A and B are shown apart, each in its own frame.
Chain A
Amino acid sequence: MNDMATRLMTDTSTLSLEGVTFTHRGQRLLGPLDLCLTGCKRTLVMGPNGAGKSLMMRLAHGLLAPTRGDVRWEGRAPRQAMVFQRPVLLKRSVLANLVYALAVNGTPRCRRKARAREALERFGLGSLERRPARVLSGGEQQRLALARAWLLEPEVLFLDEPTSALDPAAILAVERAVQEFHVGGTRILMSSHDLHQARRLADEVLFLNAGRLIEHTDAATFFTAPASCEARAFIRGELVL
């Protein structure tokens, strides 16, 4: 049995959301949400704009605290990273962006540059290391954000609509990267409103609408026989309001 399979089997962190509600200025934007995520799967969070996909991911990652309810990791909280819709890169060179993440991470100084270069090669950015990160193209920036996440060796990777502003070639690169993370044993939680993308990537689907969890099923079931009428309409490409 290889390493990967071992990691898949020993991965036991379970994320549970219990009665999670998020209220902003008296308006309930999400919840109450009850949810349990186990295993090393690729979970696609789907739903129309404003369904609460980003909000749910931020609550799960710990960027926001729920107004009510609990977000808990059973056992030890895993190492996590998040890739955002619009990558936030520091006003430094490509290499310096990665070295920074390693410094925050506590990697010894002498090993940072070598590790960063390794990540750049892996994500096809090797020739750009001296360029200012902010002048890269959208696709390159997102790849750099993925390289940064990769260096953090996350056990759980959150991706918030990482491809929604990219062209097909860049989308392909991101999807390949997500695949690599998955093969390496990282749990994926990714939001998207692109059905084709979800079909390509998902092991299971969380379907949200208007701040509520409508469906939580494995991908095959979701795409062939969705239980809710909202999901059926969404899959048929109708406008879900």
Chain B
Amino acid sequence: MPSDTSALNTALSLILGFDPALMEIVALSLRVSLAAVLMAAVVGLPLGAALALWRFPGHGALVVALNALMGLPPVVAGLCVYLLLSRAGPLGELGLLFTPTAMIVAQLVLVLPIIAALARQQVEELHLEYREQLTSLGLSRLRMIPTLLWDARLGLVTVILAGFGRASAEVGAVMIVGGNIDGVTRMMTTAIVLETSKGNLALALGLGIVLLGLVALVNAIAYVVGETARRRLG
């Protein structure tokens, strides 16, 4: 069992020493998670808004399914993507298994339901307030989507952060589809699992502290941006 100080020291020396292996892992983790969140936002925000604005047969079932998928276990998502991308799978030709792209796809599957489901909720609330005015201005529902997304932007930042939290914290999906290959698909979380199983607890804990710090940093930036906007907009 490592003492707290040795883990902290390890973390500090890893960061301050700009350990190249660590930097590579951090860079890959950020790249994969940010790419997955970005894509999930581009697809999920309009999708959530559309679900808030249109009613059609099966709408309720779709909303329930989306909400349920927020709790999709990462290993299950990983397994599904694995089956899709494995050599014998339908997309096996692409040769994407055990690449960062596969990890982005797996995280996208995890993050998309969160962003779409929470965005639907936020947009639905705002739509209740705006509906009559926007209809009076002559907007079609399609044209309401960008307006509502923009006006819900403060809440949607939190939604995107929730997605980022899910992506950066999960280990099961990227482990299965990425394979934790040193220098290719090793991420913060998979490295922590590996170091822990090797008994390298100080290093594992050190990596954990670095990961926490990164997530805190991203959230802090979002908070400052959000607060500034909130103060400006009242």
Contact = CB atoms under 8 A, between A and B. Distances in A.
Interface of A: 58, 61-63, 80-82, 84, 88, 90-92, 100-101, 104-105, 132, 134-135, 152
B137 A91 contact: no
A3 B149 CA distance: 42
A92 B130 contact: no
B55 to A, nearest CB: 15
Q: What is the predominant secondary structure among interface residues of chain A facing chain B?
A: mixed
5 tightest Cβ-Cβ pairs between the two chains A and B:
A135-B234, A88-B133, A132-B234, A132-B233, A82-B136
With most chain A CB atoms within 10 A of its CB, the pick from B138, B139, B232 is: B138
Given A81-B137, A92-B233, 16 more contacts: A58-B132, A62-B135, A80-B136, A82-B132, A88-B129, A88-B132, A90-B130, A91-B151, A91-B154, A92-B151, A104-B137, A104-B139, A104-B143, A105-B137, A134-B233, A135-B234
A90 B232 CA distance: 13
Interface of B: 129-130, 132-133, 135-139, 143, 147, 151, 154, 232-234
With most chain B CB atoms within 10 A of its CB, the pick from A61, A62, A81, A88 is: A88
Contacts, number: 40
Given A101-B137, A104-B138, A104-B139, A90 B147 contact: yes
Contact of B136 (A61, A100, A105): A61
A84 B129 CA distance: 12
A37 B135 CA distance: 23
A63 to B, nearest CB: 6
